[in-house]
Structure 1
Amino acid sequence: MSMNGNWLRVSPDELERARTDLTWAYELAMTARDDNSGRWTATDKAWNGLDFLLDRLGFEIPLVLGAEAFVEVPDVEPDSEEMFDFRYLLA
């Protein structure tokens, strides 16, 4: 199993709207991807390598979670089974 990273460049207004309208954000991302927009890019399987290298350089923004949280994530240990319990998202 691997994790593929995808990036969409958005304006501050678009980011604010995405926080409250995830369906709109998804549609925006898929349209940019399908149109081969310069706003969309993918790191594919290099994602973990980039995260590792930037972490070693002391980069302070967690790339895997991003700089902006869309949902409140419970305070759990990263490698614990609780980390993969997504039931709280359905509440």
Structure 2
Amino acid sequence: MGFLKRTNKKFEYKPRFYKGEGNPYKIEHKLDKYRKTTGKNRNLKSKLTDAIGELRDSDKTVNKTIIYIIIVLVLIFLYIIDFDLSIFFTK
């Protein structure tokens, strides 16, 4: 009874065009090597303080740009729905 004794076939797969080092199947974010909070096996408090520190040290011009974009989009939305500002200035 040969069909009861089945063994799994093993294949040696090598990527055709990969010529780098390390595991080509490892999924890693591009910016993880620049962050403090990833890759370290520490406690929750130190991870949280590092994350807050990264947030405080972030680029301030990016935050201003996002705020300007949001303001412009809100103004465009108010113009489209014909929002009238005179309701705030009536006596």
TM-score interval for Structure 1 and Structure 2 normalised by the shorter chain: under 0.3
- Give 1 or 2: higher strand fraction: 1
| TM-score where L is the length of structure 1 | 0.21
| TM-score where L is the length of structure 2 | 0.21
